[in-house]
Structure 1
Amino acid sequence: MLKTALIILFAILFFLSLTALLLYRRQVRGLAQQLKDLEPGSNQRLTCSVRDRNILSLCRLVNTYIDSQQKLVLQAREAEEKLKYTIASVSHDIRTPLTGASGYMQMAEKTEDPDKRKEYCRIVRGRLKDLEQLLDQLFLYTKLTSQEISLQMELVSLFPLVCEVLTGFYGKFQEQNREPSLDFQEEAIQIQGDSSQLKRVLGNLVSNSLSYGLGTLFIFQKGNTLTFSNKVKDPGSIDPDQMFVRFYRGDPSRNASKSSHAGLGLSIARELTQAMGGKIEARLHEDILEIVLTFQGISR
């Protein structure tokens, strides 16, 4: 009687084990088929019908791997779109001064008037200078985003540095019949930074005002902040949250052939300011645009 019971028990255990083995094999084949049918970049996930801890754990691990690969695919697509946009923007901005220089060079070759030829050559030199500045900006932006630029941090007197930068733009202020207005609470204030890169940041902000601003450029210092403030031509076209994005141009109606700006000036200013431990932000109050620099490590 005992022997019969043991045989029946073993038979039941064998049947259950065989059933479990068949279910496992069917589930493994199912997982393999799901993986085979999985399209690259698909959001589809593996499913399990066997409620076994080990099978479920394997399924979760595979799904986690699929998720990570999906993120890589999305990142690659995003990078590809950014690259296409960058190439299109750069090629357009490089082509603009080259086309202008070529056109005026042809006019200079055809004219017999020495005064006109001289004027055309002056314009060609200006277009080539624009191209040189554009390539310099692109090169610097590439170095900044790849963190290949080295900074020589030191205490820098801010007031004379701002005056030096403004002096370099004297001619352009005169051309636009505009002028800057300086208001420093502490002319002796010093900040931590790289003087040459600080000049580039300040120069880019002044250049941005000359390109898109109106009237007086107000520059005022209070504590550890330096604010650039001026009226803008078309406040409705400006998004302060996007101003420091590369290739952003606030005035959509701007004719690129009349400007050498590649929409990198404010992006470079942000990258350099952050690299020196500072912060830069933009605010728009009706038709008044403010760009605020916040410095670290000030000294009085």
Structure 2
Amino acid sequence: MEAAVVLLAVAVVALAVQLARSEAQLRAIARFLVNRESASNARVALSVRTRGFVQLAQAVNRQIDRHQGERVAAEEAKRELRRGLTYLSHDIRTPLAGTQGYAQLLAAEEDEALRARYLDVVSRRLDDVGGLLDQLYAYAQVQDPDHRIEREPVDVGQVLAESLASLYGQFKERGWEPGIQLADEPLVADSNADALARIFRNLAVNALRYGCEPPRIVQEGRTV
């Protein structure tokens, strides 16, 4: 009987010690979560390695890893946004500076032919600025997590033709005529006409700025 009482007392003491260690471990995990810096790479460490605590620590550390990944991705998105805005602001300043120069020439010129030429250049430069502002607006929309692009059936060929027509003056200035080979059957895609037009226009503008020959635009099946 006395032996049984002793064994029971030992079991109670062991259980009390285990309970105290478990309580201390839980408090340590709580302090860790409260005091942890968001940018810290610290992870939950255990002094009590029962199955339940190991699973708890693994679950907490997985959540920390996920949040760290989201934080890094968000910071990279911010850096990318700043880089994009820097590039766009530079691109906007360039045609604006050209517009100001031609506007000054226009104001001082009396020859009607030259005035018409300068006015045409000013108009095209302002079109370039408008296109860049559209890009800036679209870029801001893409960075907005709540923004959703509405899609509907779009005639790709028609959008392409309108995008190229808007750049007629620039093609004429370079003496270029793009080679266009589209299929007889309309290519209809589930898309957004405005977004698709910006894509086509951006590609064409890059070809005009940096290309060494007129672009060729070929449709093969559902690929342009």
TM-score, structure 1 normalization: 0.57
For 1:5-154, list aligned pairs within 5 A. Answer: 5-35=3-33, 38-105=36-103, 111=108, 113-115=109-111, 118=115, 123-143=121-141, 148-153=148-153
**Distance (Å, rounded) in 2 between the aligned partners of 1:195 and 1:182:** 22
CA contact (8 A) 2:102 2:118 kept: yes
Q: Secondary structure at the match of 1:75?
A: helix
Quote the sequence identity (%): 33
| Higher RCO, Cα 8 Å, sep 6+ | 1
1:190 to 186, 190, 199: 186
1:148-201: CA deviation from partner (whole Å, max 9, x where unpaired): 4434425x494x8766765665554443233333445xx422221479556665
CA contact (8 A) 2:135 2:198 kept: no
Deviation at 1:144, TM superposition (A): 6.2
Q: Over residues 55-83 of structure 1, what are the superposed CA-to-partner deviations in whole Å (9 max), with x where a residue is unaligned?
A: 22332332233223322322331222122
CA spacing shift, 1:25–1:96, aligned 2, 3 Å: same
Letter in 1 for 2:153: M
Indicate the RMSD between aligned Cα atoms, in angstroms. 3.7
- Structure 1 unaligned residues grouped into runs of 5+: 226-292, 294-300
- Structure 1 residues 85, 101: CA separation in 2 closer, same or farther (over 3 Å shift)? same
Q: Which amino acid aligns with 1:92?
A: H
More helix by share: 2
Q: What is the CA-CA distance between 1:32 and the residue it aligns to?
A: 4.0
The 1:47/1:95 distance shift into structure 2, 3 A limit, reads same
CA distance 1:224–1:88, change in 2 (3 Å): closer
Letter in 2 for 1:115: D
Structure 2: state its 5+ residue gaps: none
CA distance in 1, matches of 2:62, 2:7: 41
Any idea what SS the aligned residue of 1:215 has? coil
Q: Give yes or no for contact 1:98–1:131 (8 Å, CA) kept in 2.
A: yes
Evaluate the alpha carbon distance shift between residue 13 and residue 69 of structure 1 in structure 2; reply closer, same or farther with a 3 A threshold.
same
Q: CA deviation at 1:203?
A: 4.4
Which structure carries more strand by proportion? 1
CA distance in 2, matches of 1:168, 1:76: 36
CA distance in 1 between partners of 2:209 and 2:35 (Å): 56
Shift in Å at residue 45 of structure 1?
0.8
84 and 216 in structure 1: CA distance in 2 versus 1, 3 angstrom threshold: closer
User: TM-score, with normalisation over the residues of structure 2?
Assistant: 0.72
- Number of residue pairs matched by the alignment: 218
| Cα distance in structure 1, aligned partners of 2:139 and 2:98 | 25
Shift, 1:202, TM fit: 4.4
- Choose which of 189, 210, 217 in structure 2 pairs with 1:219: 217
